[in-house]
Structure 1
């Protein structure tokens, strides 16, 4: 099966949605009926549906089928991770709006899991990320910078691409390793309120530790995402 076939089918379905043949709210025919109607296989149709679902055009549920929920792609951030530069792309492609900073001790922050700062304290930075200035944030973040790099605080201002880039520029060091973990969680109250969600709604939690070339910890970040507006794809080539 040619990859271009499902792309053509995707475009055809989207065109029908946008011209009002299948307006927003339409329940699309069952897969076998739709595949027959379009003259394609069900596997090709599923690929087209999956792409339209990822773009926020279609809603797919096991028992209720496929429904049109939008006539244009949703405004989302997509992060493709194939290497270190890709993992760090969030800070390159979006801005963190800083809402607060303070010094904290390890024992006061469960997220740090007992990791110690040589100074005995961490600089905590709280903020949100937005796709557009007028949009609700798609991300709520707390970043913990080890005490020896807490001097970056005056350089942060109200908005930065990433905290780690400020550390790199200020102290002439580079991030060389990222230890990243992804969790599915019920969204806590404060992040939910910021992102326009309800407390307990499904959310994505990414916890990461950033290290220099000597494996010294620079920062620990905790980022909670609205899953409707954030997508992760991992693309790794095996040698």
Structure 2
């Protein structure tokens, strides 16, 4: 799925703000200048700026311009995810800190919930992820599940905290991720998860189950991530298909 042009521009502007290219308090280039810079229409530029406004990063005033208000999206971390590459990029902005590793044989309940094969041997890497800019408020708790045959990736995950475990399996075992199935649901933070994330017990959270599959549909990796509700916003976009004929 390719991103729309304005979403690409919005992402580039967000990166420019985060890097200091457009410091907080400064003005973004004018609409006309952005149109020339990205070679797009004013409508496309306005749609991109609207995304930044929605996330509290900029404000707009007549005869003044678009002012940078914050270096990061409001309400924690906001991310538009449309491809496997987007997931990999998201991981690069965060640091994984492994909390525990376990090995187990999947029972029927685990298999049904996670998409595993009952009776198969798996390992689970449990970790917290923190934004490089704010280590005091971890973004999430993640449990990553994979077959025992990939267990050597555990050491690699410790050595490369900015890479997805699924991506490390791709690189070192010659596998290829073709699709990621994603399920999102609301949860309340358990005492264990809340303590690890410096959050309030019983407060709302976002649970994201991702199943990484190869081109035959076979499960390579499953991950279950829990975010406190104020630290992550998942942004998706639905695009109407063009009529045929």
Structure-2-length-normalised TM-score:
0.63
Task: State how 1:75-224 maps to structure 2 within 5 Å.
Answer: 76-107=76-107, 110=110, 113=113, 115-117=115-117, 120-132=120-132, 134-157=135-158, 159-224=161-226
| Distance in 2 (alpha carbons) for counterparts of 1:151 and 1:213 | 23
| Distance in 2 (alpha carbons) for counterparts of 1:83 and 1:74 | 22
| Distance in 2 (alpha carbons) for counterparts of 1:202 and 1:111 | 26
Runs of 5+ unmatched residues, structure 2: 1-24, 26-48, 59-68
Distance change (3 Å), C-alpha of 1:116 and 1:82: closer
Structure-1-length-normalised TM-score:
0.64
| Distance in 2 (alpha carbons) for counterparts of 1:114 and 1:79 | 24
Which aligned runs of 4 or more in structure 1 are off by greater than 6 angstroms? Answer: 50-53
What is the total number of aligned residue pairs between the two structures? 182
| Distance in 1 (alpha carbons) for counterparts of 2:195 and 2:167 | 28
Asked whether 1:231 is paired with 2:233, we answer yes
Q: Secondary structure at the match of 1:113?
A: helix
Q: Which moved more, 1:114-123 or 1:189-198?
A: 114-123
Distance change (3 Å), C-alpha of 1:73 and 1:112: farther
Q: Which moved more, 1:102-111 or 1:205-214?
A: 102-111
Alpha-carbon shift at residue 192 of structure 1 (Å): 0.9
| Distance in 2 (alpha carbons) for counterparts of 1:127 and 1:109 | 22
Q: Secondary structure at the match of 2:80?
A: strand
Q: Secondary structure at the match of 1:213?
A: coil
Q: Secondary structure at the match of 2:202?
A: coil
The answer to whether the Cα contact below 8 Å between 1:103 and 1:124 also exists between their aligned partners in 2 is: yes
| Distance in 2 (alpha carbons) for counterparts of 1:98 and 1:212 | 26
The answer to whether the Cα contact below 8 Å between 2:187 and 2:205 also exists between their aligned partners in 1 is: yes
Alpha-carbon shift at residue 187 of structure 1 (Å): 1.0
